[in-house]
Structure 1
Amino acid sequence: MPLYKNINPDLQTTVKIWKIEESYEELFQSVNLRPESLNRVLGMKSELHQRGFLSVRHLLAAFGYEDSDLFYDANGKPHLKDGKHISITHSFNFSAVIVSDKVIGIDIEKQRDKITIIAHKFIDYEFLYLNRDASNYIKKLTVIWCVKESLYKLYATPGLSFKKHCLVIPASDNEQETVAWINYKSKKSRYNIHFLEFEGFTCAYAIA
């Protein structure tokens, strides 16, 4: 089973990334799903989404959890029954789960040219330091998107805007850490950010 990466950013936090190489049938045969999850995966029209969903259940198992240990609140944020914090993501043939004693969020995205078309929808302050003519512009945009998506998952508050309320401090090309802020309804919160790139994908995770 292709556990692609195992990362321990601190003593309370673990990130596990899965490269989805198995077929739907292979992934399905070796997981135990509660009825709600079974109905959900069977109702998915895309096999890519089905495989992503099932790979996350394999990642849960790698942490020692089962599907029944996971539940979602009214805002769609996942939780674990033992009280630990969890965040989940998948994109194409990669998925990832982060588990921590701290509040966390994670996102994986494929680096694609079309992100330049929507950049104005999620970037404000960051345009001040981005170079649109640079060869790594798409990678930089993808990092910022992943960071803001991880913040959105961490904060889990309706009305939070990527563009208006989330701010990502620039990182040098050789760095994989930065700081981000959420400024929402007069409350400012600072978060430590880690990110990495692999096989044309970007993964970022935020830790409170």
Structure 2
Amino acid sequence: MPLYSTFNYKSNIRVSVWDITESVSDLAVHALTQKSQQRLEGMKSKVHQKGFLSIRKLLEANGYTDSDLYYHQTGKPLLTDGVQVSITHSAQYSALALAEVPVGIDIEHVKPVVGRIAHKFTKNEAWFLDATSSDYLDKLTVIWGVKEAIFKVVNEPGISFNHHIAVSKFSLDDQETTAMLDFNGQQTGFTIYFESIADYKLVVATYIS
């Protein structure tokens, strides 16, 4: 299907979401660079191929082509015009964030497995989480997404989700919270936005201005 939804946040952050319902052939992008074509052909998973191509569809929807996107040696995506970009995709959705400021984005499926590994990433949030509440898995998924998105903004190795990032207490109705990264002797604050899309959670992170 075409573009699924768009969200606009402060600091001119624009997020575009694609619902991946097409086949690989239907998602085909004719203007792939040689490097991207080789990368696509090297993907054995149809899910990964669809995610890769749907991101290119989102680029096109925002006035870019595949040749405008390149990657830092760390894997961080960049655009040739200097606009800040972050990308994410799952089995069902892909999303692209464009901004004037550094930005990170993540989309996660709400699944029971997140409850089984909560102890690995919620050391700083356990005080406000209730494992018996009906929204427990949803909140865990948002927290995981927050930490993934922050990691994409900072893009530094060695960051521990469990020890270095603390998400402030939030309600799912808020659709906004804050988080703090305490890493290498420096504390950095982040503004967090989140949305529910079917049984997925979309999370956006940027530095507190």
Match of 2:24? 24
- Given the superposition, is the C-alpha separation of residues 25 and 168 from structure 1 closer, same or farther in structure 2, using an over 3 Å criterion? same
Q: CA RMSD in A?
A: 1.0
- Identical residues among aligned pairs (%): 42
Runs of at least 4 residues of structure 1 off by over 2 A?
none
Q: Which letter maps to 1:138?
A: L
C-alpha distance in structure 2 between counterparts of 1:75 and 1:159, whole Å: 13
- Given the superposition, is the C-alpha separation of residues 81 and 42 from structure 1 closer, same or farther in structure 2, using an over 3 Å criterion? same
C-alpha distance in structure 2 between counterparts of 1:175 and 1:150, whole Å: 18
SS of 2:162 mapped into structure 1: helix
C-alpha distance in structure 2 between counterparts of 1:13 and 1:143, whole Å: 19
Quote the offset at 1:11 in angstroms.
Answer: 5.3
Match of 1:5? 5
Q: Deviations over 1:139-166 (max 9, x none)?
A: 1100000000000101100111111111
TM-score (norm 2): 0.96
Q: Which letter maps to 2:15?
A: V
Instruction: State the aligned residue count.
Output: 207
C-alpha distance in structure 2 between counterparts of 1:114 and 1:83, whole Å: 38
Q: Contact 2:13 / 2:100 at 8 angstroms: preserved in 1?
A: yes
C-alpha distance in structure 2 between counterparts of 1:115 and 1:173, whole Å: 17
Match of 1:84? 83
Q: Contact 2:124 / 2:163 at 8 angstroms: preserved in 1?
A: no
C-alpha distance in structure 2 between counterparts of 1:56 and 1:174, whole Å: 28
The structure that is helix-richer by fraction is: 1
Match of 2:120? 121
SS of 2:74 mapped into structure 1: coil
Q: Which letter maps to 1:118?
A: I
Match of 2:66? 67
Structure 1 unaligned runs (5+)? Answer: none
C-alpha distance in structure 1 between counterparts of 2:136 and 2:11, whole Å: 33
**1:103-182 → structure 2 map (5 Å cutoff):** 103-182=102-181
SS of 2:17 mapped into structure 1: strand
Q: Deviations over 1:107-159 (max 9, x none)?
A: 00100001112111111110111001111111110000000000010110011
C-alpha distance in structure 2 between counterparts of 1:205 and 1:176, whole Å: 10
SS of 1:26 mapped into structure 2: coil
Q: Which letter maps to 2:32?
A: L
Quote the offset at 1:174 in angstroms.
Answer: 1.8
